[in-house]
């Protein structure tokens, strides 16, 4: 079967005296039958090319499934008279959310389980299902949750009566995927945020239980299309915080649930390049801000704001503060130092870091619903250590391991190696990378290697254990995470140096890491694969143009590759929110810079690596037509005979299949494609 050939319809984009030819712009019209026909032809071609690899896919899939434990159960979290938890059995596609009423953790064994929500009962086999925000009412009698069945960011609110097990008539559509739902103190009303036609969260509402949505009260509307609304409740439960934010500035409002008659009050007006988050602790507001503090500082002020704001924790350029977790009598902070995540206990006017044994790890504050407590749950992991739940006593400072996530099948940690290495970027900056491999992988010289990265939005990729990675490591594959600029691994400036007019640092950092891995003998260009998703897919596209010769295989998943065109179209979901990240190409400076790296605009008549590109027809974050157009242009211009595949999920969005075993099969297919082209089929 020959690869599909997309028809060409001449179209020209003209701006700033520049002309961009776009022969595949017609693919943006999903109502055109030819668009669906092309996507289906690409899927058929994918199936045809992958057919010889079916036995290998099945082998990898079975090995991945074999790593799934018979049962996975999170450590129960105390909230009021109950302990809440989530569990999954191996035969299930989705988790079950439950609780037990018990006086202590020791008494849980004899307590009866009460099912709150079993997603397996909600799901229809093969269809998409996502349940995100779940909120228990203050009296523990109702469960509010958000559900989506098409892969977009538009969710529907349902409220379940936990006594009867029935859903209330209250149902509200077009609610944002996350940070969009909170109960008031009485449990008789919900605050929620809805999205506009571009799926931007922009309206704040109050809904009284038992009434119709038509009577809901609109409390605030954000008309600036570059801003989104975010809704959170303070850990004390007293305040509901509403933030109107861009990626560089924020305006903060709050409700006092003890005095709701005061209505929505503004805490902090918007200032250019100033971010503010607030929490409530004792008789004051805690303020995490980057005003005059690039890596953030923590300030305080009285609830009545009658006194001036004062610093509680001064700015330290070596310490990046990212989160505040107040408890009735204690205060925890999270952040980063020396490139690693960190948890600090605030005590005697200073930060006391929690220490851990491994040199490479990730630690964060887990789910903690109780406010008046001396025990906090932490989650710890590394490239070698499974997710571990730790109970930390805030008074005695003692740690107790409550659970190590189970791994099905044999796993001897001593058989694997984790390292943190550094590559030298083009401008001399040291770029960290996390490396994990079987101890025998390099016995016979350079080994097959997968280089993963993201590098955008300040999102950090930290060391994390993944049992599904073991089938690759056991075949002698080295897995590397490049912590390139655009993330926040090395602090806020690491992010600032990889966005807007510094974005090319993200791509050149990644290429520098690839070169270093080759120079140091870990791998060769013929043995290296690159992998990234979404903005990491943009990275793959840019690297294909700028440094494709260092890779045999690239896997751009849901890739953002038509940067200029998308950033010029404000009607596309989320575009206006992205200008703080990429720039607005209506400005010629940003236009020229974006065009210099946009993968679609820089396809050349040259050889490219083997590539498998994925997308979702309902993806609101990176529209299907970006990768579809890019693949069509690559097919037209590339000079090699390397494999180029496009796989479109016709019933899902940005995150692919929601069923966990369907998702595992997708990962097995991608892994089989990568390993086949790297010459790896059997275990080392």
573 and 507 inside one domain? yes
533 and 585 inside one domain? yes
What's the number of CA atoms in the CB half-sphere (13 Å) around residue 606?
Answer: 11
Q: Is 347 part of a structural domain of the chain?
A: no
The pLDDT score that the predictor gives to residue 150 is 85
- Number of domains the chain contains: 3
> Which of residues 224, 250, 283 is at a domain's end?
224
pLDDT tens digits, 56-109: 999 999 999 999 999 999 999 999 999 999 999 999 999 999 999 999 999 999
CATH number, domain at 55? 3.40.50.1820
The pLDDT score that the predictor gives to residue 457 is 96
0.85 exceeded by pTM: yes
Q: Is 305 part of a structural domain of the chain?
A: no
Strand partners for 145: 134, 158
The pLDDT score that the predictor gives to residue 259 is 85
33 and 156 inside one domain? no
Find, among 200, 88, 80, 98, the residue nearest to 140 by Cα: 80
Say how far apart CA 231 and CA 206 lie, in whole Å: 12
Q: Is 487 part of a structural domain of the chain?
A: yes
pLDDT tens digits, 430-445: 999 999 999 999 999 9
Residue 50: which H helix or E strand, with range?
A: helix 33-50
475 and 592 inside one domain? yes
pLDDT tens digits, 19-43: 999 999 999 999 999 999 999 999 9
Spatial contact of 488 and 460, defined as CB atoms under 8 Å apart: yes
pLDDT tens digits, 608-659: 999 999 999 987 778 899 999 999 999 999 999 999 999 999 876 555 566 7
Tokens 């060409």 label which residue?
8
Spatial contact of 145 and 131, defined as CB atoms under 8 Å apart: yes
List all residues 6 or more positions away from 357 whose beta carbon is below 8 Å from its beta carbon. none
59 and 79 inside one domain? no
List all residues 6 or more positions away from 564 whose beta carbon is below 8 Å from its beta carbon. 13, 20, 585, 591, 594, 595, 598, 601
Spatial contact of 612 and 645, defined as CB atoms under 8 Å apart: yes
106 and 34 inside one domain? no
Report the b/e string of 226-252 with b at 16+ CB within 10 A.
Answer: bbbbbbbbbbbbbbbbbbbbbbbbbbb
Q: Is 283 part of a structural domain of the chain?
A: no
> Which of residues 224, 239, 259 is at a domain's end?
224
Q: Is 152 part of a structural domain of the chain?
A: yes
Q: Is 185 part of a structural domain of the chain?
A: yes
Cα Rg of the chain (Å, integer): 25
Domain that holds residue 92: 71-116
Angle at 305 between CA 304 and CA 307, to 5 degrees: 115
The pLDDT score that the predictor gives to residue 51 is 97
* Rounded percentage of the chain residues whose pLDDT exceeds 90: 89
632 and 614 inside one domain? yes
Tokens 């009962």 label which residue?
121
The pLDDT score that the predictor gives to residue 573 is 74
Sheet harboring 375-381: ordered strands across? 362-365, 375-381, 388-393, 399-404
pLDDT tens digits, 646-666: 999 987 655 556 678 888 999
54 and 159 inside one domain? no
51 and 155 inside one domain? no
pLDDT at residue 684 is higher than 60: no
Span of 44-48, 155-159, 276-280, 302-306 with lowest mean pLDDT:
302-306
40 and 108 inside one domain? no
User: Residue 135 — φ and ψ, nearest 5°?
Assistant: -130, 125
Q: Is 157 part of a structural domain of the chain?
A: yes
Compute CA distances 71 → 94, 329, 540, whole Å.
12, 36, 36
Categorize the per-residue pLDDT at 477 as very low, low, confident or very high, splitting at 50, 70 and 90.
Answer: very high
pLDDT tens digits, 158-203: 999 999 999 999 999 999 988 899 999 889 999 999 999 888 999 9
679: left (phi over 0), alpha (psi -120 to 50) or beta: left
Categorize the per-residue pLDDT at 516 as very low, low, confident or very high, splitting at 50, 70 and 90.
Answer: very high
Tokens 């809704």 label which residue?
231
Say how far apart CA 633 and CA 625 lie, in whole Å: 12
**How many other CB atoms are there within 10 angstroms of residue 128's CB atom?**
23
> Which of residues 206, 224, 242 is at a domain's end?
224
90 and 51 inside one domain? no
pLDDT at residue 531 is higher than 80: yes
Say how far apart CA 664 and CA 659 lie, in whole Å: 9
How far, in whole angstroms, is CA 193 from its chain's centroid? 20
Evaluated on CA atoms 631, 632, 635, 637, the torsion sign reads negative
Compute CA distances 289 → 96, 269, 293, 313, 345, whole Å.
38, 13, 7, 11, 19
Q: Is 631 part of a structural domain of the chain?
A: yes
| Catalytic site includes residue 654 | yes
pLDDT tens digits, 318-366: 999 999 999 999 999 999 999 999 999 999 889 999 999 999 999 999 9
Three-state helix/strand/coil letters over 217-286: EEEEECCCCCCEEEEEECCCCCEEEEEEECCCCEEEEEEECCCHHHCCEEEECCCCCCCEEEEEECCEEE
Find, among 544, 480, 491, 489, the residue nearest to 516 by Cα: 480
pLDDT tens digits, 217-257: 999 999 999 999 999 999 999 999 999 999 999 999 999 98
Task: Return the axis-axis angle of helices 660-678 and 54-66, rounded to nearest 10°.
Answer: 130
454 and 514 inside one domain? yes
Active-site option among 22, 387, 619, 671: 619
Active-site option among 130, 244, 488, 534: 534
User: Could you say which DSSP state residue 516 is in?
Assistant: H
pLDDT at residue 12 is higher than 70: yes
User: Could you say which DSSP state residue 205 is in?
Assistant: E
| Catalytic site includes residue 534 | yes
Active-site option among 654, 657, 671, 677: 654
Residues in the chain, total: 684
**How many other CB atoms are there within 10 angstroms of residue 220's CB atom?**
14
What's the number of CA atoms in the CB half-sphere (13 Å) around residue 98?
Answer: 17
List all residues 6 or more positions away from 109 whose beta carbon is below 8 Å from its beta carbon. none
| Catalytic site includes residue 250 | no
């Amino acid at each position: 079967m020959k690869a599909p050939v997309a028809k060409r319809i001449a179209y020209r984009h003209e701006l700033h005296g520049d002309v961009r030819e776009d022969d595949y712009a017609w693919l943006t019209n999903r109502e055109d039958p030819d668009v669906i026909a092309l996507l289906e032809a690409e899927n058929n071609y994918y199936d045809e090319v992958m057919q010889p690899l079916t036995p290998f896919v099945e082998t990898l899939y079975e090995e991945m499934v074999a790593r799934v434990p018979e049962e996975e159960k999170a450590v129960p979290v105390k909230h009021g008279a109950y302990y809440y938890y989530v569990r999954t059995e191996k035969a299930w596609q989705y988790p079950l959310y439950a609780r037990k009423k018990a006086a202590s953790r020791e008494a849980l064994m004899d307590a009866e389980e009460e099912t709150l929500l079993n997603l397996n009962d909600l799901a229809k086999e093969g269809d998409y299902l996502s349940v995100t925000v779940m909120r228990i009412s203050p009296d523990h009698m109702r469960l509010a949750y958000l559900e989506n069945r098409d892969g977009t960011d538009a969710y529907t609110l349902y409220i379940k009566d936990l006594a009867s097990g029935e859903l209330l008539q209250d149902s509200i559509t077009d609610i944002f995927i996350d940070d969009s739902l909170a109960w008031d103190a009485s449990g008789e009303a919900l605050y929620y945020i809805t999205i506009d036609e571009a799926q931007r969260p922009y309206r704040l509402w109050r809904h009284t239980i038992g009434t119709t949505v038509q009577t809901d009260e609109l409390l605030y509307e954000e008309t600036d299309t570059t801003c989104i609304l975010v809704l959170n409740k303070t850990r004390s439960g007293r305040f509901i915080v509403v933030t109107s934010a861009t990626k560089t500035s924020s305006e903060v409002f709050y409700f006092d649930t003890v005095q709701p008659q005061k209505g929505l009050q503004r805490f902090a007006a918007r200032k250019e390049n100033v971010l503010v988050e607030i929490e409530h602790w004792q008789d004051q507001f805690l303020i995490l801000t980057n005003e005059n503090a690039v890596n953030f500082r923590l300030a305080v002020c009285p609830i009545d704001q009658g006194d001036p704001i004062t610093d509680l924790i001064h700015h330290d350029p070596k310490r990046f503060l990212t989160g505040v977790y107040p408890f009735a009598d204690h205060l925890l902070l999270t952040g980063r130092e020396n490139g690693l995540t960190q948890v600090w206990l605030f005590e005697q006017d200073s930060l006391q870091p929690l220490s851990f044994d491994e040199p490479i790890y990730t630690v964060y504050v887990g789910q903690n619903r109780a406010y008046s407590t001396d025990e906090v749950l932490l989650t710890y992991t590394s490239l070698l250590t499974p997710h571990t739940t730790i109970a930390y006593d805030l008074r005695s400072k003692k740690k107790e391991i409550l659970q190590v996530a189970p791994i099905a099948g044999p796993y001897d940690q001593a058989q694997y190696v984790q390292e943190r290495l550094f590559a030298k970027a083009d401008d001399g900056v040291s770029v960290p990378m996390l490396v994990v491999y079987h101890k025998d992988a390099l016995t016979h010289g350079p080994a097959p290697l997968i280089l993963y990265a993201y590098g955008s939005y300040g999102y950090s990729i930290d060391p994390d254990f993944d049992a599904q990675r073991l089938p690759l490591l056991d075949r002698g594959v080295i897995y590397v995470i490049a912590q390139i600029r655009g993330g926040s691994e090395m602090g806020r400036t690491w992010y600032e140096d990889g966005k807007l007019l510094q974005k090319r640092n993200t791509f050149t950092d990644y290429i520098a890491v690839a070169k270093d891995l080759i120079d140091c003998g870990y791998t060769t260009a013929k043995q290296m694969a690159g992998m990234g998703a979404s903005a990491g897919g943009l990275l793959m596209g840019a690297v294909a143009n700028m440094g494709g010769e260092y890779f045999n295989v690239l896997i751009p998943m849901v890739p953002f590759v038509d940067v200029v065109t998308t950033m010029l179209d404000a009607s596309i979901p989320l575009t206006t929110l992205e200008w703080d990240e990429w720039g607005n190409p209506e400005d010629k400076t940003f236009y020229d810079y974006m065009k210099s790296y946009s993968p679609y605009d820089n396809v050349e008549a040259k050889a490219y690596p083997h590539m498998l590109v994925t997308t979702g027809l309902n993806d609101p974050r990176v529209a299907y037509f970006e990768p579809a157009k890019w693949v069509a242009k690559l097919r037209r211009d590339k000079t090699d005979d390397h494999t180029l595949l496009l796989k479109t999920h016709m019933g899902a969005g940005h995150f692919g299949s929601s069923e966990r075993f369907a998702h595992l099969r997708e990962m097995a297919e991608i892994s089989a494609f990568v390993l086949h082209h790297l010459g790896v089929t059997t275990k080392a």
